[in-house]
Amino acid sequence: MEATATLTTLSSSPAGVRSSPARTTVASLHPRRLPDPASHLRGAQGPTALRALSSPFLGFSSRRRRSGMVVRAEMFGQLTTGLESAWNKLRGVDRLTKENIAEPMRDIRRALLEADVSVPVARSFIESVTEKAVGTDVIPGVQPEQQLVKVVNDELVQLMGGEVSDLVFAKTGPTVILLAGLQGVGKTTVCAKLAFYLKKMGKSCMLVAADVYRPAAIDQLAILGKKVGVPVYSEGTEAKPSDIAKNGLKEAKSKKTDVVIVDTAGRLQVDKAMMNELREVKKAVKPTEVLLVVDAMTGQEAAALVGAFNGEVGITGAILTKLDGDSRGGAALSIKEVSGKPIKFVGRGERVEDLEPFYPDRMAQRILGMGDVLSFVEQAQQVMRQEEAEELQKKIMSAKFNFNDFLKQTKAIAQMGSFSRIIGMIPGMNKVTPAQIREAEKNVKFMESMINVMTADEREKPELLAESRERRRRVAKDSGKTEQQVSQLVSQLFQMRARMQKMMAGMQGKDTPDMENLMESIKSEEQFAAGTGQPRRKYGNLRRRDLDRMRGYRR
Ligand SMILES: Nc1nc2c(ncn2[C@@H]2O[C@H](COP(=O)(O)OP(=O)(O)OP(=O)(O)O)[C@@H](O)[C@H]2O)c(=O)[nH]1
């Protein structure tokens, strides 16, 4: 058996009971095999889900043996191998620290440089991965090396531009795509590939042969045009490229063609004449897209070239060809970072159908070859968020809600507006508006400053503050707030506890809670705590009623 990971199964375990570890393969971590996160809210599998995810080290090497599960892009083979050695160095650590990731980071840096990524790009990549990895919260059930895989993946996606960069089409008249590039990079082939791609999208196309220096290029375009079934406009080798382009566009307009693709001359190197000619063609047809075709085999040079062309003529993006070759991937990784321009398409072969939009996320996954680990970490993050929310809800209900929870919750509000989700989980209380969430977010800093100066004991047991004026005074002094504001914060916490308990009692049929009033008072307390309004009542000290409740004299 290929068992490489141990995972405590939960599906058959009663909530809260850990079943005996069952050996399973990494395949078990496929999202479909993970507990449905929403089931926590329905109380099905409950908080055991995360424990279920607590697997020891997942043997990354196993993926190689499992056929069909991981598609490794050969082009990135070396880079992938270099990264693997980084993960392997983290075996057995409990969390990612600056110290323990130093060595793996060196491996990643080396792997990037070997893939022909430029030194500055590799350096800034390492810096941001280090920063994010060290600051990452430990997710129960997820191994530190898996978390690092996720961080590296996310940073790779960002490095390559984040989002897919779609072709832009003209609002009226034909869309003009001007293609430029050095000789032999695959520009003429790209003309046909693009036409084929656009035809599949239902757009009519015309190719314009403006490469007048190489007669064979015109013939090649004519043949390719015929192959993909699109007309090719040409005036031979005597006319000026800018005139050919202008006339071609006129013809396309008269035929109501959707897209005109202009093939321009390639040179052996960037020269003044080439740039001038491109500028002229650009001026003549005002293209919607100016795409520079670059060869992936040229690595970081391709990235520098995109930058240079952009500086000289202004381009909208790049098309990276020959990704099927044995290039090392440096171009794909560096173009956006070096030039600021996105890769819009990649060519993966000589056939007209071998062109596809560039998806940074898919490319990153190809590089890492770890789609399974990534979706596992994402699922675990999701489960953790759900569990935290559920845990917090329980605390509120059981009147154990303390300042630590309060702080955690207010921070969560700032991050994701989860207050609405918690409230939303309670029947009849799903009316939190985005404006209320924004208001709550504004309060975070204000409350945090007071909670931050409380002692660990005070945070755990808000009663200490409720009973001691001295403590409240100290918190006020240390946080730069008034004693009254501290009292109000303490009072607010107890009011919240009491209301939740009352509501729970109501839900159990002892009383009928007034949901509207509850929402109103929570809202006004939030405003009040932000120091934006007048206090509703005068508090020299906490109210008797709150103290009684806290001590259990009142319900
Ligand atoms: N393997 C592979 N070969 C490609 C790809 N794109 C183009 N080629 C090949 O690269 C060679 C050059 O392609 P062309 O389209 O003629 O290049 P060009 O940039 O138009 O060249 P010039 O007209 O000389 O400027 C041809 O043999 C193509 O078949 C690709 O994505 N993968």
Distance 313 CA to ligand 1 centre (A): 23
Q: Are strands 175-180 and 343-347 parallel, antiparallel or unpaired?
A: unpaired
| Spatial distance between the Cα atoms of 329 and 297, rounded to a whole number of angstroms | 8
Max Cα–Cα distance, the chain, nearest Å: 100
Distance 294 CA to ligand 1 centre (A): 10
Task: Give helix 418-425 / helix 371-397 axis angle, nearest 10°.
Answer: 60
Strand partners, 360: none
| Spatial distance between the Cα atoms of 318 and 359, rounded to a whole number of angstroms | 13
Distance 78 CA to ligand 1 centre (A): 25
Residues 79 and 112: beta-carbon distance below 8 Å: yes
Nearest-CA residue for atom 13 of ligand 1: 186
Residues 232 and 221: beta-carbon distance below 8 Å: yes
- Low-confidence residues in the chain, pLDDT < 50: 1-73, 416-431, 509-542, 546-547, 549-555
Q: How far apart are the first and last CA of the chain?
A: 59
Does the beta carbon of 294 lie inside 6 Å of ligand 1? no
DSSP state for residue 149 in the 8-state scheme = H
Query: Phi and psi dihedrals of 527, rounded to 5?
Result: -65, -40
Three-state secondary structure call for residue 111: helix
Tell which atom from ligand 1 comes closest to the C-alpha of 184: 21
Tell which atom from ligand 1 comes closest to the C-alpha of 265: 25
ipTM metric:
0.96
Does the beta carbon of 218 lie inside 6 Å of ligand 1? no
Instruction: Please state, in angstroms and as integers, the Cα–Cα distance from residue 213 to each residue in 103, 238, 266, following that order.
Output: 52, 9, 9
Distance 319 CA to ligand 1 centre (A): 12
- Which residues neighbour 163 within 8 Å (Cβ) at sequence distance 6 or greater? 360
Distance 77 CA to ligand 1 centre (A): 23
Q: Are strands 355-357 and 343-347 parallel, antiparallel or unpaired?
A: antiparallel
Residues 500 and 429: beta-carbon distance below 8 Å: no
Rg (CA), the chain: 31
Amino acid identity for residue 494 in this structure: F
| Spatial distance between the Cα atoms of 97 and 148, rounded to a whole number of angstroms | 11
Residues 134 and 96: beta-carbon distance below 8 Å: yes
Does the beta carbon of 166 lie inside 6 Å of ligand 1? no
pTM over the 0.95 mark: no
Does the beta carbon of 282 lie inside 6 Å of ligand 1? no
Can you spell out the DSSP letters for 441-497? Answer: HHHHHHHHHHHHTS-HHHHH-HHHHHH-HHHHHHHHHHHT--HHHHHHHHHHHHHHH
In this predicted model, what pLDDT tens digit does every residue of 210-268 receive, in sequence order? 988 887 889 999 999 999 999 999 998 889 999 999 999 999 999 999 999 999 988 77
Nearest-CA residue for atom 1 of ligand 1: 349
Nearest-CA residue for atom 10 of ligand 1: 186
Distance 187 CA to ligand 1 centre (A): 6
Distance 175 CA to ligand 1 centre (A): 24
In this predicted model, what pLDDT tens digit does every residue of 332-344 receive, in sequence order? 999 999 999 999 9
Does the beta carbon of 365 lie inside 6 Å of ligand 1? no
Tokens linked to 299? 């690595």
Distance 292 CA to ligand 1 centre (A): 14
Tell which atom from ligand 1 comes closest to the C-alpha of 263: 20
Residues 3 and 66: beta-carbon distance below 8 Å: no
| Structure confidence at residue 387 (pLDDT) | 67
